[in-house]
A and B are shown apart, each in its own frame.
Chain A
Amino acid sequence: MKIAIEELAGCSGCTISILDLHEALLDVVAQADIVYSPVIMDVKEPPEGIDIAFVTGAVRNKENEERLKQLRKRSKTLVAFGTCACYGGVSGLSMLGKPEDLFACVYQGVETAEKGNLIPTDVPAFLYRVFAVGDLVKIDYYIAGCPPKEKFLRTIIPDLIADKKTELSKKSVCAECDRKMGDVKDWHLKRRYEGTPDREHCLLGQGYLCLGPVTFGRCGASCPHNNIPCHGCNGPSLDILREPCRDIYNLMVRRIADLTDTPEKEIEKQLYDVAHTMYPFTIGSLIMEDKEISKIRDLVQGGSV
């Protein structure tokens, strides 16, 4: 059994999450060889005849696209591993502006950049948009998470190797959160720096924009557990993914409206910077963008190319 882990436009945190298996990793390598992974070993090209290939990161430039297609040809099972691979991840936010502005900022605009810096032209060119890997090639399995948490990988990876069906909860972050609702009074949207949230009660009910109800779980609600509102890094909940009339933005607005007995229009007035607050991890996904009610198309208009 040969395993490969490929890196595209991502932070390599997903590969580290596999290393986070710690002693369970010994059981994995007893059954399978890791033959290719740029982060943890010095192999330049994926070999032929890979059994399971994990692809992490989104597709942002031509090199990413080529590598993804090559890996698809050389592997029997291709797994989209992590939120970037499944939904485009934070790379998608690069579509909000023009690539020229982006390069100018990164190479010349930031404080640490030297004045005379040139923007390199000998690097792989940007594609016209960001893609989740499933938008470009056939994917056999999706494992969402930013990164997928080690606790669940302990079940998922051995099951994948043994070709066994994995039975794990596929509910939302709220299902894993142990906060109670409490009373909702004088609701108004709060930024994260405003006050300290009460640890017992629902963050959304307190006015913090917590994306728990619309986000796929499998993180043990670790952010709400540490008094930080969920920002949706696991991608959309499966209910949202499935239903054409549901989207992260409209469902959040509806939830807040239901909780507070305020008209949806009033809630929408309070929301700010929708791209970064609602879609930071899914803006690059064609599946999410193609929903008729999605706001993504309006947000990326005028950007890209």
Chain B
Amino acid sequence: MIEISVDAAACNGCGLCVKDCPMQVYELRDEVSVPIRPENCMGCLSCHEICPAQALEHRGVYPSKRNYIDIRVCEMINRVI
């Protein structure tokens, strides 16, 4: 089961995740996104990708392969403090 957490302080209620999710996992309540059907989540991470505020976190999704890893970029990201 995928665990979805929404950082309510970060969420700005744009509703992009509600619109984007192919499984209708999210709903807007009081201008904050709430994962009402997390059991439907298929772990595509489309919402994670689309969220402008990076407010969505998924636990229990293991993307098994990445097509592209740029060592130079990864090195830089690890050093951002």
Contacts and interface: CB of A to CB of B under 8 A. Distances in A.
Chains A and B belong together in one complex: yes
Contacts of B73: 241-242, 244, 287
Interface stretch (A15-23, A25-33, A137-145, A274-282): A137-145
Contact of B77 (A159, A180, A241): A241
B81 to A, nearest CB: 5
Contacts of B19: 258
The dominant DSSP class at the B interface is loop
Contacts of B31: 180-181
A206 interface: no
B74 to A, nearest CB: 8
B62 to A, nearest CB: 17
B10 interface: yes
A163 B29 CA distance: 43
B63 to A, nearest CB: 12
Given A134-B76, A156-B81, A180 B12 contact: yes
A139 B77 CA distance: 11
8 contacts: A134-B76, A139-B79, A172-B52, A177-B12, A180-B12, A180-B31, A212-B52, A287-B76
Contacts, number: 83
Contacts of A172: 52-54
A244 B80 contact: no
B12 A202 contact: yes
A147 to B, nearest CB: 15
B23 interface: no
Given A142-B76, A241-B73, A287-B73, A171 B54 contact: yes
Interface string B34-76: 0000000000000001101111000000000000101011101
B43 to A, nearest CB: 17
Contact of B13 (A176, A180, A258): A180
Contacts of B52: 172, 174, 212-213, 255
Interface of A: 134, 139-144, 156, 159-160, 166, 168, 170-172, 174-177, 179-181, 202, 205, 212-213, 237-239, 241-242, 244, 255, 258-259, 287
B14 interface: yes
A238 B31 CA distance: 25
Contact of B54 (A156, A160, A237): A237
